[in-house]
Structure 1
Amino acid sequence: MKYMEYVRILTTYFTKNVQVETTIAQLARLFNCSERHTKSIVNYLDQHNWIKWEVQRGRGKKPKLTLFVQSDDILYQEAINKVGSEKYQEAFRLLQQMDSMYQDRFQTWFKKVLGISQTKTEDEEPLDVLRYPFYETMLSMDPLTIMSRHDSHMVQQIFDRLVAYDPKSDKLIPQIAHHWETVDGIRWYFYLRKQVMFHHGRELTSNDVKATIDRLPKYDVIKKNLVTIEIRNQTVIIFKLKETDYLFPRYLATMKASIIPIEMVEQNEINFRKKPIGSGPYQLTRHDQEKVQLDVFLDYYGYRPWLDRIEIIKTPEKLVGNQSHPFLLSAPDSSWKGIKVQEEGADYITFNCRKDGPLKNIYYRRLLCNLIDEKEFCLHSNHENESVAHSFLTERSKEKTSKTKVHDNVNEDMFLQIAAQQIREGVNHKREALILQSQLERAGISSSVEIVNAQDLGNPQVLNKFDIVVAGIALTEDRLLSVLTAIQSSQLTIYPSLNEQMRNEVDQQVSALKKLHDTTRQWQMYVAIEDYLKSNHAIFFLNHRTHTVYEPNNSQYMNIKLDSNGRVDYRKVWKKE
């Protein structure tokens, strides 16, 4: 038994800082060991100031024991030891048994473990490590099954794509493909780098690119306009489209187009979601109940990141608290300042224009839009300062003003079924759905609210059960592609909820947009599509969310700021020596 266990036993029989007479024989019975071993235990605890052991002179006088700790002291020290041995879940369970004062003390200590630090490898080589806590969530790191921004962030680090979108220049930059070209916007040639290696040691070829795209579902935006994929050789691949599309390469920069080694997926697709293999700058080396660990991939074809390792400690959500900055519990130093940033994208309502019922009629959709007060959906607190949305784009929303709403009783015998989109357990649009239900009730309209997983809403049979869906999206850095995907994706609720006439109009306008080279004209056409959907009352925008970006002031750490996923892009972090 470890000495800490003996101290724990003492705390159940003795009070801290109270001197008590006892004997070795009595302690031996408590410890359930020999008196000889008990003497060794007592000497050890006395030498390490856990107790004070005083032997009394004179016949019949018992020794005196003073205990210098209480049970919470033991729990606290044990929790620290558990963290040191990376048994984080055991540490957090011990934490729940402590008094609140000790819990606060532990959190203060735990903060010092987090952030960027330097350790050494077994070969005594320096290792720069970023360590931070994150609440337990079911990560799906297969690019095909990304559901949340957490999933997307991990895929971004572990995988690479043919090309990458640079928001500063609004242009594509090479990744796995070093060059691409087209003459007519229909036949696209991509030329791959040689010696791009997957994490398991195999070279990436054009066969992997084809397998990745073939694996996408037939209703995916990339596949809709795709006719054939031709492998010219190991490093040349040709995509032939049905129609001209000058945006096509940008779709290949999205996370779901991350290149995979298909044989690893075919071996065990479920396991691949938890333990993926890519060709990106970081490889997954650990993913269990304690933490997710990424290590730099030494055979990466591109620039080597400065950070050698990232350790994401799985932490109870109530311990993590408000996740308002990259390191969650504390910024790297006191020089950092928080800046609230409005998130591009919005929460919104879609009306099912296909389902038999009142909302098939534009009259009733218009009626509901006039009833809904979007201001009630905006959170205002220390952490949130949301604003009314009239578009997926914050700048467009600023140009609009809210109309005067009608709150008279509708006098219609109407019952509506509302679905609240859920990304993962506890992250959903239930709050917004209940606000909507309350507003409808005030107008005399009855409704029900059901929380539905986002993946399930991609099933037409599930979607057709509901009259209204309350959902939301955050736009990626490629905003144009993001909004086009939002209004055309079969996995979101906007396009599947449109009637045939609306679908045809959207398809025609998006098709015309993709034939253009001019970005300004492309945006003008998107705005026209969004206005068309609003004028037909197929979609109603609610609110824009905010998040806090922490920026360093004269910090030695560079590029530690939130990306479009609300996370730190590990690849860009470095330190001024």
Structure 2
Amino acid sequence: MKYVEHLLILTKHFIEGIPTETSVAALSDLLCCSERHVKTIVQYLHNHQVISWETQRGRGKKPKLTLHLNEDEVLLNETKKRIKAEQYQDAFVLMHRMSLPGKEKFRKWFSSSLGLLHKNEDNQSLDILRYPFYETDLTMDPLYITSRHDAHMVQQVFDRLVEYDTKTEQLLPSIAHHWESNDGKHWTFYLNKGILFHHGRELTSRDVQKTFDRLIKKKTFLINIKKITTLNDRVIIFELEEVDYLFPRSLSSMKASIIPFELLLADGEKFSNFPVGSGPYRLTQHNENMVRLEVNRYYFATRPWLDRIDIIKAPEEWEHKTDHPFLLNQPNEKWRQVKVIEEGATYITFNCNKDGPMRNKEFRNKICEMLNPENICNERSENEFVSISLLSQLSLTTQKKQIGRSKPLQYDGPILRIAAQQIRTGANHAKAAEDLAEQLKNIGIPSQVSLINSREIMSNSNLSTFDLFVGGIALGSDLLLSAVNALQSPHLTIYPCLDEKMKDFITRKMIEIRRSQEETFRWQTYYEMEEFLKSERAIFFLTHRSHSVYELTDSPYVNIKLNHHGRIDYRKVWKKYTFSN
């Protein structure tokens, strides 16, 4: 509505439903505009039935103005219009101006437009999921994803050569329909025909080669690749430096999503915000209001049931209050809690490479003996519990040692520098780092905390500056592979902070794991590595994190379930037919 700000001024000076004498001149002063413009405003508002304007006959008689809406009602009408026009940020700005009862009315109305909806749009029958989520500053170039939000979106938009099935713990075909190796060093992959990127070009082995060349240059987890050869458009061979029977599983990583390289070269920043993949959903909108995914109707594999997903960018506090199928609070007893533990952990790594007190194992040991992980956390809530490993099951089933109480140390060394990992604005490990600094202070060790971007945290300058790093990792669907990679990743804080003796031990154990084809042996060796790092006081585990939502017990929708990252895989949601009596 035009003149809504003028109408809001009127609501502060006139009482709803009560005719009040006024004048054009008085309204001119009130609205800070000319009398001529006042007449236009009044006529417009009168025609739209939000006020009544009655002129009275007779000398000295003033017109009467009657408001038909109060301030909350005016704002509510305007927010509804903004929502229907998908101008969500403007709508939420107006919502914040409402009183608490007004906000509650808006919340109830807004909730009715969310969830799983069946609509007919543009002569199409569509099943749509709409829900609010706070801004996460998504990065959707697979190479640079850093958060579970990024990885979840990449999973929907892109495909990988293979997929890892968490239920069966088996590797499944995707872009590649078959793979083989005779020696564990030479791996041949055969690609499916007719896979199209969202912009219409067919995916070939050349795209696979370009994707992995880029990963190798960035020194990712695929540093073992020695050479890549494309035999034709459908066959590609990877030659490795060392035997690695885990190699095919590495290719299910979200970072190994296959990209159309020419688009990346044309505009890398645009690709990061508006990527093109070959996955089951294509990104059609990504702005300050929403992220919209629409089904890829030419998808080579099983077409998802959901036709569209609208992720509305809402204020963070609003997302926790809104009623939709993926609730974060329980409205009544008909909704059951669905809770999942996020594999991975928050932890402290000690920089054993830097000159200074952290090179002394006895000093590290004294610090670890006094640390109380229950008092070092990112958020004071039931969603965190103490960890002793990257793996939650190990933490849940292992008896935790009693925390010792140390007396203040006779410390006269330098102020310790603590780096807190920052994933994005508002999402960081600053609270845990500050808790650590407080515990150090209690035993006489001064320290100071700095926030460091996760993409820069392992730079040479930071490695030579900081004594302790507080950060964390959420493991991927292939727990073994993800955990193994975490212990040797150059981009996480664990491996770069080890001294040469520790690195040598980890490297030898990694070779044993990758040369073995026995999963039990691989796990046993991984546990040895974790225990070694803990015994050397190179790492101190803090907490695991869990996620909770609520869903209707009699819902016809199938697979509305959280994965280990606290996200619902849109690809698997579908609706059962309900028979009426």
Q: Same fold (TM over 0.5)?
A: yes
Normalised to the residue count of structure 1, the TM-score between the two structures is 0.93
The answer (yes or no) to whether the contact 1:326–1:562 under 8 Å persists in 2 is no
State percent identity of aligned pairs.
Answer: 47
Residue in structure 2 matched with residue 151 of structure 1 by the alignment: 150
Q: How does 1:472-511 map to 2 (within 5 A)?
A: 472-511=472-511
Residue in structure 2 matched with residue 116 of structure 1 by the alignment: 116
Q: How does 1:307-326 map to 2 (within 5 A)?
A: 307-321=306-320
What letter corresponds to residue 461 of structure 2 in structure 1? Q
Return the alpha-carbon distance in structure 1 between the equivalents of residues 256 and 214 of structure 2: 10
Q: How does 1:214-229 map to 2 (within 5 A)?
A: 214-218=213-217, 220-229=219-228
Residue in structure 2 matched with residue 87 of structure 1 by the alignment: 87
The answer (yes or no) to whether the contact 2:342–2:566 under 8 Å persists in 1 is no
Alignment partner of 1:564: what SS?
Answer: coil
Q: How does 1:43-442 map to 2 (within 5 A)?
A: 44-45=47-48, 48=49, 50-52=50-52, 64-122=64-122, 124-218=123-217, 220-321=219-320, 327=326, 335-377=334-376, 384-397=382-395, 398-414=397-413, 415-442=415-442
Larger deviation, residues 471-480 vs 95-104: 95-104
Return the alpha-carbon distance in structure 1 between the equivalents of residues 323 and 186 of structure 2: 45
Normalised to the residue count of structure 2, the TM-score between the two structures is 0.92
Residues 86 and 356 of structure 1, relative CA distance in 2, 3 Å threshold = same
The answer (yes or no) to whether the contact 2:347–2:543 under 8 Å persists in 1 is yes
Residues 4 and 166 of structure 1, relative CA distance in 2, 3 Å threshold = same
Question: Is residue 2:445 matched to residue 1:445?
Answer: yes
The answer (yes or no) to whether the contact 1:351–1:359 under 8 Å persists in 2 is yes
Q: Any idea what the Cα deviations from partners look like across 1:62-118, whole Å, max 9, x if unmatched?
A: 554322222232112111111111111111111222222212221222111211112
Residues 505 and 17 of structure 1, relative CA distance in 2, 3 Å threshold = same
Return the alpha-carbon distance in structure 1 between the equivalents of residues 112 and 505 of structure 2: 57
Quote the RMSD (CA, aligned, Å).
2.6
Q: Any idea what the Cα deviations from partners look like across 1:456-497, whole Å, max 9, x if unmatched?
A: 113132222111001111222210011101101000000000
Unaligned runs of 5+ in 1: none
Larger deviation, residues 220-229 vs 258-267: 220-229
Larger deviation, residues 509-518 vs 486-495: 509-518
The answer (yes or no) to whether the contact 2:329–2:549 under 8 Å persists in 1 is no
What letter corresponds to residue 78 of structure 1 in structure 2? E
Question: Is residue 2:565 matched to residue 1:569?
Answer: no
Residue in structure 2 matched with residue 2 of structure 1 by the alignment: 2
Q: Any idea what the Cα deviations from partners look like across 1:183-213, whole Å, max 9, x if unmatched?
A: 1111111000001000111000000001000
Return the alpha-carbon distance in structure 2 between the equivalents of residues 202 and 401 of structure 1: 55
The answer (yes or no) to whether the contact 2:24–2:38 under 8 Å persists in 1 is yes
Return the alpha-carbon distance in structure 2 between the equivalents of residues 324 and 182 of structure 1: 51
Residue in structure 2 matched with residue 523 of structure 1 by the alignment: 523
Residue in structure 2 matched with residue 466 of structure 1 by the alignment: 466
Q: Any idea what the Cα deviations from partners look like across 1:9-36, whole Å, max 9, x if unmatched?
A: 5435422232223568977997854899
Q: Any idea what the Cα deviations from partners look like across 1:204-230, whole Å, max 9, x if unmatched?
A: 000000100000144645432111111
The answer (yes or no) to whether the contact 1:217–1:223 under 8 Å persists in 2 is yes
Q: Any idea what the Cα deviations from partners look like across 1:308-337, whole Å, max 9, x if unmatched?
A: 111111112232247999745778997331
Return the alpha-carbon distance in structure 2 between the equivalents of residues 288 and 22 of structure 1: 45
The answer (yes or no) to whether the contact 1:341–1:549 under 8 Å persists in 2 is no
Return the alpha-carbon distance in structure 2 between the equivalents of residues 332 and 260 of structure 1: 42
Unaligned runs of 5+ in 2: none
What letter corresponds to residue 389 of structure 1 in structure 2? S
Return the alpha-carbon distance in structure 1 between the equivalents of residues 140 and 325 of structure 2: 20
- Between the two proteins, the alignment pairs up a number of residues equal to 572
- Displacement after TM superposition at 1:280 (Å): 0.2
Residues 169 and 87 of structure 1, relative CA distance in 2, 3 Å threshold = same
The answer (yes or no) to whether the contact 1:379–1:385 under 8 Å persists in 2 is no
Q: Any idea what the Cα deviations from partners look like across 1:412-449, whole Å, max 9, x if unmatched?
A: 21331111111111111111111111111111111111
Return the alpha-carbon distance in structure 2 between the equivalents of residues 305 and 570 of structure 1: 8
Alignment partner of 2:456: what SS?
Answer: helix
What letter corresponds to residue 269 of structure 2 in structure 1? I
The answer (yes or no) to whether the contact 2:180–2:189 under 8 Å persists in 1 is yes
What letter corresponds to residue 135 of structure 1 in structure 2? Y
Return the alpha-carbon distance in structure 1 between the equivalents of residues 45 and 470 of structure 2: 65
Return the alpha-carbon distance in structure 2 between the equivalents of residues 361 and 322 of structure 1: 49
The answer (yes or no) to whether the contact 1:221–1:488 under 8 Å persists in 2 is no
- Displacement after TM superposition at 1:567 (Å): 1.3
The answer (yes or no) to whether the contact 1:161–1:255 under 8 Å persists in 2 is yes
The answer (yes or no) to whether the contact 2:107–2:322 under 8 Å persists in 1 is no
The answer (yes or no) to whether the contact 1:556–1:575 under 8 Å persists in 2 is yes
Larger deviation, residues 335-344 vs 516-525: 335-344
Residues 510 and 53 of structure 1, relative CA distance in 2, 3 Å threshold = same
Q: Any idea what the Cα deviations from partners look like across 1:283-302, whole Å, max 9, x if unmatched?
A: 01111111111111111101
Residues 34 and 325 of structure 1, relative CA distance in 2, 3 Å threshold = closer
What letter corresponds to residue 281 of structure 1 in structure 2? P
- Displacement after TM superposition at 1:6 (Å): 6.3
Alignment partner of 1:339: what SS?
Answer: strand
The answer (yes or no) to whether the contact 1:27–1:38 under 8 Å persists in 2 is no
Q: How does 1:510-549 map to 2 (within 5 A)?
A: 510-549=510-549
Residues 142 and 43 of structure 1, relative CA distance in 2, 3 Å threshold = closer
Return the alpha-carbon distance in structure 2 between the equivalents of residues 380 and 317 of structure 1: 15
- Displacement after TM superposition at 1:392 (Å): 1.1
Return the alpha-carbon distance in structure 2 between the equivalents of residues 532 and 391 of structure 1: 12
Residues 289 and 36 of structure 1, relative CA distance in 2, 3 Å threshold = closer
The answer (yes or no) to whether the contact 2:320–2:329 under 8 Å persists in 1 is no
Return the alpha-carbon distance in structure 1 between the equivalents of residues 331 and 203 of structure 2: 38
Larger deviation, residues 110-119 vs 296-305: 110-119
The answer (yes or no) to whether the contact 2:326–2:549 under 8 Å persists in 1 is no
What letter corresponds to residue 358 of structure 2 in structure 1? L
The answer (yes or no) to whether the contact 1:353–1:498 under 8 Å persists in 2 is yes
Residues 489 and 323 of structure 1, relative CA distance in 2, 3 Å threshold = farther
